[in-house]
């Protein structure tokens, strides 16, 4: 029985966390490739985990063992009948559908019951183990987290590189069928087992079995809520500026689980003062880094350095939260209620980040809020570990006062910055955070409006009437896209498709009689482009803006007969991988005229996308030229990196060459991405 329970716990945990990246990556292209796809999936899984723990708690409390076994065997059989878990394409996002609600309904229909059964397994099997063997079950919880960690880390490093998504869903279904057999055997064993007396060991706090107080239950709820909130907030933060990829989902979640494993294995692994001090230092460093970057201090970190700092802070905070949670764990008599409160806290933190915060805040305030609360918790734990003293009694109040003063000073500074730079507005929705800032209002020559996506400037426009019509940012006349559009200047009926609106800068190239069709996922971007920028209003040709994911919109539309298709869709500095796959280019080609070109903006701080575009060029028979252009502050132009693709039968991309062009080059290698496989490790700078 012990072996059966241990193996069931391990397999269920592995499947429980393996399915999360599988189904999230499966539906990512259907919902615009936003980081919120993952956080919404996490909210669903955390909420269903709470439902599974509630089912385990109440069935253990109110049902006789044989009735409980019969009910669970029925659920297992029905869940097996729902396999495989691959969702139908009818769930794809449409322009008038709410993405969060659509994702939740999709997950409920495809993976809801199997995940519910898996989520109930941990507390149920531990209760069966305790009832059948008369021993403390807490190490089974650590074992379940080991299985979870293996499942998570196995996905980006073993499963994703080797198997297509359809294969992954079938292999997972086979594993679930094996789990159902194991779990059914365990349920039968528990229903017929004798019930020995529970051994009282040093690993069992509150051995007298006293009922937990309301204050203790509140700690069981709030500590995991803080850890869960920081897990999702950190994931959102790093995905906004890098890429929405499984590794950046899995790595923080793995650290979160690792803290559970360490803390629940044995109390000796959690040193209160050590981890509290480490959390305070790492959270403080992250806070300072954020203030320096947002304050425009010119601080530059590599991709790896930023990730290491953010993930270290997350791990240390999770160790404090979960270490304190283990210190407060109850007698096994209250096992299922303890796990129920933990899962409720996890769901509460997830719901706050994914559903409530986007409606309350116009930026990622919850991440900074988590940093502050984490620092206060670390300070409390650090001083709570010392002998009785004045500082222990009053430090939390003193720290709170200093914190309020600091926030007040920063608030005044931010308000002054808003006056100086006239921060007009910011907006946040499912697709991220955008904002508009006015710069140099007192200098007519340099007076501009900047458009930010996350921390990255995605467009700007001069206020001066002599400069307002000039294309700026990554779209200047000497860039790859500028030269390519210049070649279309004399074609009065040219049709141009643009995936990614930004502020509408490319409309400055439209000539009378030409048609520009923009595809924009985020309706707030269109609102800002209309309210604060005039490129669309000043467009001399015809133009339309289609709201919705560019790839999905093109997939549904009749052929548009474009002479040029421009791909320039980014969130922050993150790469929309689903727009650069073999399947995506098959959709684009249906909308291109004979000899039409494709221009791809590959400007990026962290990733070199040239090999990916080269792979697509090889696959579909294009000749490519890479055009790098330098910055020109006087014209509001940034360093830009474009690749222009021309069908090979049309010869070289002669239109983008100049007499003394030294910036044209071809990438040295080619990597072909598909919807099933896209590995960003291969293209890290």
For the domain that residue 605 is a member of, what is the CATH number? 3.40.50.150
In the chain, the percentage of residues whose pLDDT exceeds 70 is 81
The contacts of residue 229 (CB under 8 Å, 6+ apart) are: 349, 350, 352, 353, 366, 370
Q: Grade residue 479 by pLDDT with cuts at 50, 70 and 90.
A: very high
3-state DSSP assignment of residue 595: strand
Residues whose CB is less than 8 angstroms from the CB of residue 646 and which lie 6 or more positions away in sequence, other chains included:
595, 597, 622, 623, 624, 625, 652, 653
What pLDDT, on the 0 to 100 scale, is given for residue 662? Answer: 45
- pLDDT bin (cut points 50, 70, 90) of residue 206 is very low
pLDDT above 60: residue 651: no
Q: Are residues 642 and 524 in the same domain?
A: yes
State residue 302's pLDDT score: 64
Cα–Cα separations (whole angstroms), residue 387 to 280, 321, 545:
20, 21, 66
Domain count along the chain: 3
pLDDT over threshold 90, residue 484: yes
pLDDT above 90 coverage of the chain, percent: 25
State the Cα angle at 422 between 418 and 427, rounded to 5°: 80
Return the pLDDT at 395.
56
Specify the pLDDT at position 652: 47
Whole-angstrom Cα distance, residue 463 to residue 36? Answer: 34
pLDDT bucket at 201, cuts 50 / 70 / 90: very low
Q: Which residue has the higher pLDDT, 555 or 290?
A: 555
Output the CA torsion sign for 184, 186, 192, 198. negative
pLDDT of residue 237: 78
pLDDT digits (tens, 9 = 90+) for 65-82: 788 888 888 999 999 998
37 with 183, same domain?
yes
pLDDT in tens, 136-154: 666 676 677 778 778 877 8
422: left (phi over 0), alpha (psi -120 to 50) or beta: left
> Which CA distances in Å does 448 have to 29, 250, 310, 421, 442?
35, 40, 33, 10, 10
Tell me the helices (H) and strands (E) count for the chain, helix number first. 20, 12
Asked whether residue 225 carries a pLDDT value surpassing 90, the answer given is yes
Mean pLDDT confidence for 480-499: 92
User: Does position 95 have pLDDT exceeding 70, yes or no?
Assistant: no
Give the end of a domain, one of 385, 420, 444. 385
Confirm whether 419 is domain-assigned: no
pLDDT at 116 over 90: yes
At residue 264 the predicted structure's pLDDT band, cuts being 50, 70 and 90, is: confident
Mean pLDDT of 103-117: 91
Looking at residue 212, what is its pLDDT? Answer: 78
CATH at residue 354? 1.20.1250
Judgement on whether residues 173 and 227 belong to the same structural domain of the protein = no
| CA of residue 348 relative to chain centroid, distance | 18
Mean pLDDT across 118-146? 74
| Residue in 227, 284, 277 with CA at minimum distance from that of residue 385 | 277
Q: Which of 92-106, 219-233, 407-421 has the lowest mean pLDDT?
A: 407-421
Q: What's the pLDDT at 528?
A: 93
Question: What is the pLDDT, as a whole number, of residue 337?
Answer: 81
- Same structural domain, 189 and 284: no
Residues 369 and 506 in one domain: no
pLDDT at 654: 43
> Nearest to residue 15, comparing CAs of 75, 73, 69, 85?
85
pLDDT of residue 421: 47
User: Exposed/middle/buried for 293, CB within 10 Å: 0-12, 13-18, 19+?
Assistant: middle
Among 2-6, 131-135, 159-163, 514-518, name the one with the lowest average pLDDT. Answer: 131-135
**One domain, residues 117 and 255:** no
Residues 148 and 290 in one domain: no
pLDDT of residue 11 exceeding 60: yes
- Residue 283: the pLDDT is 84
Looking at residue 564, its pLDDT comes to: 96
Residue 507: what pLDDT? 95
HSE (side-chain half, CA atoms, 13 Å) at 324 = 29
What's residue 318's pLDDT? 93
For residue 188, the model assigns a pLDDT of 82
- 156 vs 635, higher pLDDT: 635
Strands 456-462 and 542-547: unpaired
Question: Long-range CB contacts (< 8 A, 24+ apart) of 521-524?
Answer: 521/32, 521/34, 521/431, 521/547, 521/548, 521/549, 521/550, 521/569, 522/429, 522/431, 522/432, 522/434, 523/429, 523/547, 524/427, 524/429, 524/431, 524/434
CB atoms near residue 210 (< 10 Å)? 12
Structure tokens at 490: 């004399």
Closest Cα to residue 301, out of 289, 287, 313, 311? 289
Q: What pLDDT sits at residue 415?
A: 39
Do 127 and 17 sit in the same domain of this protein? Answer: yes
C-beta of residue 232 within 8 angstroms of C-beta of residue 353: yes
Task: Provide the 10 A C-beta neighbour count for residue 531.
Answer: 10
Residue 370: band (very low, low, confident or very high) from pLDDT cuts 50, 70, 90: confident
User: Does the structure show a pLDDT above 50 at 256?
Assistant: yes
Average pLDDT value over all residues in the chain: 80
Residue 439 lies in a domain: no
Q: Specify the pTM.
A: 0.76
| 556 within some domain | yes
pLDDT at 369: 85
Same domain flag for 181 and 281:
no
Mean pLDDT along residues 194-215: 56
Among 18-22, 285-289, 659-663, which is the least confidently predicted range? 659-663
The CA distance from 374 to 230, in Å, is 9
In a domain, 457, yes or no: no
pLDDT at site 496:
96
Q: Which of 147, 164, 195 is the last residue of a domain?
A: 195
Query: Which residues are CB-contacts of 27 (< 8 A; sequence separation ≥ 6)?
Result: 37, 41, 87, 91, 103, 106
pLDDT higher than threshold 80 for residue 560: yes
Q: Is the pLDDT of residue 412 over 50?
A: no
| 410 inside domain | no
Supply the pLDDT for residue 589: 94
Condensed to tens digits (0 to 9), the pLDDT of residues 597-647 reads: 999 998 887 778 899 999 999 999 998 888 989 988 888 899 999 999 999
The verdict on residue 204 lying in a domain is: no
Residue 364's pLDDT band (boundaries 50, 70, 90)? Answer: confident
Residues 130 and 239 in one domain: no
Q: Over the stretch 665-676, which tens digit does the pLDDT of each residue have?
A: 556 678 998 887
Same domain, 172 and 242: no
| pLDDT band at residue 294 under the 50/70/90 scheme | low
Contact 82, 116 (CB under 8 A): no
- Residues 141, 234, single domain; the answer is no
421 domain-assigned? no
Per-residue confidence at 453, pLDDT binned at 50, 70, 90?
Answer: confident
Greater confidence (126 vs 514) lies with 514
Of 85 and 409, the structure prediction assigns the larger pLDDT to 85
Cβ atoms of 550 and 519 closer than 8 Å: yes
Of 195, 222, 254, which one is at a domain's C-terminal end? 195
pLDDT(660) > 60: no
Q: Can you give the pLDDT at residue 198?
A: 45
pLDDT of residue 299: 52
455 falls within a domain = no
Containing domain of residue 496, as a range? Answer: 463-678
**According to the model, what pLDDT value does residue 419 have?**
42
Q: With a cut of 50, say whether residue 404 has pLDDT above it.
A: no
């Amino acid at each position: 029985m012990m072996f059966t329970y241990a193996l069931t716990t391990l397999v269920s945990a592995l499947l429980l966390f393996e399915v999360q990246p599988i189904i999230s990556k499966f539906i990512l292209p259907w919902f615009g490739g936003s980081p919120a796809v993952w956080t919404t999936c996490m909210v669903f899984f955390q909420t269903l985990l709470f439902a599974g723990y509630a089912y385990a708690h109440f069935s253990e409390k109110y049902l006789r063992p044989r009735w409980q076994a019969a009910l669970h065997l029925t659920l297992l059989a029905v869940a097996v009948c729902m396999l495989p878990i691959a969702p139908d394409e009818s769930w794809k996002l449409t322009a008038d559908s709410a993405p969060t609600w659509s994702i939740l309904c999709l997950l409920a229909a495809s993976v809801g019951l199997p995940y519910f059964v898996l989520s109930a397994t941990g507390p149920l099997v531990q209760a069966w183990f305790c009832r059948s063997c008369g021993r403390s079950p807490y190490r089974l919880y650590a074992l379940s987290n080991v299985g979870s960690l293996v499942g998570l880390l196995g996905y980006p490093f073993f499963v994703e590189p080797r198997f297509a998504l359809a294969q992954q869903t079938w292999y997972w279904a086979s594993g679930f069928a094996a789990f159902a057999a194991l779990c059914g055997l365990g349920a039968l064993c528990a229903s017929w087992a004798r019930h020995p007396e529970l051994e009282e060991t040093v690993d069992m706090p509150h051995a007298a079995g006293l009922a937990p107080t309301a204050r203790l239950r509140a700690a069981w709820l709030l500590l995991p809520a803080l850890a869960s909130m920081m897990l999702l907030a950190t994931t959102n933060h790093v995905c906004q500026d890098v890429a929405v990829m499984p590794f950046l989902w899995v790595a923080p979640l793995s650290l979160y689980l690792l803290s559970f494993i360490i803390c629940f294995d044995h109390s000796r692994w959690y040193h209160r003062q050590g981890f509290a001090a480490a959390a305070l230092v790492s959270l403080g460093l992250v806070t300072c880094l954020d203030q320096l970057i947002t304050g425009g201090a010119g601080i530059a970190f590599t991709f790896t350095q930023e990730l290491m700092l953010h993930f270290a802070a997350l791990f240390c905070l999770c160790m404090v939260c979960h270490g304190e949670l283990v210190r407060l764990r109850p007698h096994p008599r209250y096992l299922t209620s303890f796990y129920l409160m933990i899962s409720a806290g996890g769901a509460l933190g997830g719901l706050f980040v994914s559903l409530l915060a986007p409606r309350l805040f116009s930026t990622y305030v919850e991440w900074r809020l988590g940093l502050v609360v984490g620092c206060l918790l670390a300070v409390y734990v650090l001083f709570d570990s010392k002998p009785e003293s004045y500082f222990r009694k009053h430090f939390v109040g003193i720290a709170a006062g200093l914190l309020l003063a600091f926030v007040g000073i920063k608030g005044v500074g931010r308000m002054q910055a808003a006056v100086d730079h006239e921060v007009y507005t910011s907006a946040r929705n499912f697709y991220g955070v955008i904002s508009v800032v006015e710069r140099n209002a007192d200098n007519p020559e340099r007076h501009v409006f900047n458009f930010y996506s996350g921390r990255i400037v995605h467009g700007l426009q001069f206020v001066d009437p002599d400069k307002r019509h000039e294309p700026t940012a990554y779209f200047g006349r000497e860039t790859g896209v500028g030269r390519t559009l210049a070649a279309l200047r004399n074609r009065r009926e040219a049709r141009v498709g643009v995936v990614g609106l930004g502020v509408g800068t490319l409309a400055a190239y439209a000539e009378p009689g030409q048609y520009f069709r923009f595809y924009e996922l985020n309706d707030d971007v269109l609102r800002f482009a209309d309210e604060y920028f005039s490129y669309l209003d000043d467009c001399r040709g015809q133009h339309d803006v289609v709201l919705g994911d560019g790839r999905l919109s093109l997939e549904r539309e009749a052929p548009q007969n474009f002479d040029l298709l421009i791909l320039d869709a980014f969130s922050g500095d993150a790469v929309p991988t689903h727009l650069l796959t073999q399947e995506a280019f098959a959709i684009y080609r249906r909308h291109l005229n004979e000899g039409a070109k494709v221009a791809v903006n590959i400007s990026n701080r962290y990733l070199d996308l040239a090999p990916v575009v080269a792979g697509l060029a090889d696959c579909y028979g294009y000749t490519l030229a890479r055009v790098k252009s330098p910055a020109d502050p006087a014209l509001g132009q940034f360093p830009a990196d474009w690749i222009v693709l021309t069908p090979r039968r049309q010869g070289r991309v002669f239109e983008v060459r100049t007499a003394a062009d030294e910036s044209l080059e071809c990438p040295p290698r080619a990597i072909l991405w598909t919807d099933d496989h896209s590995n960003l490790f291969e293209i890290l700078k």
